[in-house]
């Protein structure tokens, strides 16, 4: 079955540590996105990529980094510069620049310990 | 002003009633509109999309779009307890420019359907 796989489902980060969230899709979608969700704040865009080897900052990119070396993969690194990383992270993909909406992965819940 | 704003919740309706969820958006160039349902602890799932003014029906769900008023709504008829979730409105300006291809989401409305 086609879909988006995010891993891990739960992730714990120590202060000052970088962590990487994985996102893989087999839908042959060109565009991929990372969103952060905090309680009561909806989804906020971190980074997005419309083609391989190209990506753009979203609304809250500070403290995050991404790469898009393969069409299928769009990993997100939460760096130590992100001071409040505890949140639910959602990866999504789309065809035709989101005209038909996004397909979401199951999410990664990141907690600072 | 928020780009996409949903009616504040939570919204509570009895089983069998009609639930009405509303959303306004600020970008007049917006062309695609989506409703996602998100159960607690889960990721959003697409339940309706609409591109043209008017109504679009799918089973118990009806999406309504009024571009002149920059307003989109979702009606859920014969509400069931299983409809209890957060509903997210999303808007896509896919006419070009810096917003091209990005969905902007509202903050969500929590719906509770009680037996």
pLDDT band at A44; cut points 50, 70, 90: very high
| Å between A109 CA and nearest CA of chain B | 9
Tokens (6 digits) for B1 = 């002003």
Residue A61 burial (C-beta neighbours within 10 Å; 0-12, 13-18, 19+) = middle
For residue A94, which residues of chain B lie inside 8 Å, CB to CB?
A: 101
Cα B86 from Cα B54, distance rounded (Å) = 24
Three-class secondary structure of residue A47 per DSSP: strand
Best B34, B36, B42, B44 residue to mutate vs chain A (most A CBs within 10 Å) = B44
Residue A41 pLDDT exceeds 90: no
Average pLDDT rounded to a whole number, residues A35-51:
90
pLDDT band at B31; cut points 50, 70, 90: confident
Instruction: Please report the pLDDT score of residue B2 as a whole number.
Output: 67
Mean residue pLDDT across chain B: 91
């Amino acid at each position: 079955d086609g879909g988006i796989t995010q891993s891990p489902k739960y992730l714990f980060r120590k202060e000052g540590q970088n962590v990487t969230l994985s996102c893989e899709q087999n839908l042959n979608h060109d565009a991929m996105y990372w969103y952060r969700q905090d309680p009561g704040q909806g989804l906020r865009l971190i980074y997005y990529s419309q083609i391989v080897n190209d990506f753009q900052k979203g609304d809250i990119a500070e403290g995050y980094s991404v790469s898009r070396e393969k069409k299928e993969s769009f990993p997100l690194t939460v760096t130590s510069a992100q001071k409040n990383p505890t949140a639910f992270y959602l990866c999504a993909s789309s065809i035709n620049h989101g005209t038909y909406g996004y397909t979401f992965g199951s999410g990664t819940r990141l907690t600072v310990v | 002003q928020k780009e996409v704003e949903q009616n504040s919740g939570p919204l509570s309706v009895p089983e069998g009633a009609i639930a009405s969820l509303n959303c306004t958006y600020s970008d007049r160039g917006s062309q695609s509109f989506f409703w996602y349902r998100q159960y607690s602890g889960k990721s959003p799932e697409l339940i309706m999309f609409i591109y043209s003014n008017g109504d679009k029906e799918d089973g118990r769900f009806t999406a309504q779009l009024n571009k002149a008023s920059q307003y989109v709504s979702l009606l859920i008829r014969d509400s069931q307890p299983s409809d209890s979730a957060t509903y997210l409105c999303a808007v896509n300006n896919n006419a070009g420019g810096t917003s091209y291809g990005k969905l902007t989401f509202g903050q969500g409305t929590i719906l509770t359907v009680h037996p």
